[in-house]
Amino acid sequence: MDPTYKARKEAFVSNLAGSNLSDINAVAFVAPASVLLWSALQSRLSFFTPYSPAALLTDFILNVLAILFSTTAYSSAPVLLNIFLITPAVLLYLTQPPHRSQQKAKPPRKTVNTDGSSPDQAGSLPVHPFLTTYRAAMMIITCVAILAVDFRVFPRRFAKVENWGTSLMDLGVGSFVFSAGVVSARAVLKSRASQSKKTPFIGRLIQSARHSIPLLVLGLVRLWSVKGLDYAEHVTEYGVHWNFFFTLGFLPPFVEVFDSLTALIPSYEALAVIIAIAYQVALESTNLKSYILVSPRGPDLLSKNREGVFSFLGYLAIFLAGRGVGTRIIPRGTSSTQTPRQARNSVITSLGIQVAFWLTMFFFNSSYAFGYGANILVSRRLANMPYVLWVAAFNSAQLLLFCLVETIFFPSVHRATGLEGEQERNAFATSPILHAFNRSGLAIFLAANLLTGLVNLTVPTLDVKTPQAMAILVVYTGVLTGLALVMDKYNVKLRL
């Protein structure tokens, strides 16, 4: 890469101050607003069944292009875009009756097991369309941002901040980790429900380390490609050698260590808060903060990669917070004493409590809070306590919104008491594109990184005008969507 252009690229993503929370929330709200309109079309008109070419195009416009345009062409007016999406959804909801196929759920089985659960429910964990939708929307906005940030059409206030502040991409990194924590709760719940003897700690630690190896290899491959191709990089993001794949790779064994502590502290949220507090105390009471932010980079690996190494503690707390939420919302919850409606109300209540808890903690941690707050600035570079609390609060709120949309438009999903007909109900209530993105998340994320590198090596993104930039981004999102749909159709999976 030309040294002058490389310097321009690095300056383009450096020394940024971010945006305010209301601006970020308005842009991020486009995802649930798009799902709201999709749900209205499907539940009232069965618009996406069968899945015709027109349905596919509409699905792509709503769930992919709407997110792309919210961060680019409509970045200065995200509220207007939200109004365009919400208004027809509300009109459909008020003027059209529900489609007949989901008006009535099948009656629950009357036979129960000795523990009060239904026969097809025992030991099973349901698939929640709202959770699929949440994870897929997060993946789409992540994939959009990692390429769009290299074009001028993507506002600088959405790019990662240098030291202090909030931005859309800062939120995206933490949300990626939080969502991974949410789905990791499924394995925890299955282990708890299993009647077999639990694997000893050493065995579980070795198994988790094996899961880390592919991610660490990907981290090494990215390191080699960035250095070998002389690719523009922002060193203060993670360090000289560290990258996000290393953060993801080191999470499993450390999570396993803290998972063992649940015997003493039976709450993942409490563990997350303890880690965040301990790390914040170390930042404030020692010279650790100045060491990370302003100290010269020494010859040792720790000094060269101190952002990635120490911010790992914050991401570990975020992951555990996500796992805590997952353990509360994934189980079916029905029993001989709790109806499906009561079980869904419990999920909504639990998410509401999570939102209130994390928001309150964030308010007192990041502001003066009427003289009682700590007033600590958010820092993604440090992954400090306000950052952890912000990510947890935002993602809990997103999950609550998606859950409410599903509850209102697709009641047959949560009224079910077991596995019978679950696949059909979930398919009717889930966008095929979002389902495909969720199912092939890792492969799509890798493809997005490869395509981002390819575009940056072949196109002078800084000098591309807005129409050409939007055309490239539309094609890019189209390719990713096509790849996800093809992998889903042919049942191609990439597991770690």
Contact 392, 318 (CB under 8 A): yes
Q: Is the pLDDT of residue 113 over 90?
A: no
Q: Is the pLDDT of residue 110 over 60?
A: no
Tokens of 132: 């699929």
Q: What is the pLDDT of residue 120?
A: 42
Q: Is the pLDDT of residue 73 over 60?
A: yes
Phi and psi, residue 392, nearest 5°: -65, -40
Q: What tens digit of pLDDT does each residue of 199-241 get?
A: 788 888 888 888 899 899 999 998 998 888 777 788 889 999 9
Beta bridge partners of 318: none
Amino acid at the residue 45: L
Q: What is the pLDDT of residue 196?
A: 66
Nearest one of 410, 424, 340 to 121, comparing CA atoms: 340
- b/e string for 336-360 if b means 16 or more Cβ within 10 A? eeeebeebbebbeebbeebbebbbe
User: According to DSSP H, which parts of 66-127 are helical?
Assistant: 66-70, 78-95
Distance, CA of 15 to CA of 91 (rounded, Å)? 45
- Give percent above pLDDT 90 in the chain: 72
The mean of the pLDDT values for the chain is 90
Q: What is the pLDDT of residue 199?
A: 78
Q: What is the mean pLDDT of residues 340-346?
A: 92
Q: What is the pLDDT of residue 80?
A: 96
Q: What is the pLDDT of residue 396?
A: 98
Q: What is the pLDDT of residue 203?
A: 87
Amino acid at the residue 218: L
Q: What is the pLDDT of residue 109?
A: 43
Distance, CA of 472 to CA of 470 (rounded, Å)? 5
* Full-model pTM: 0.93
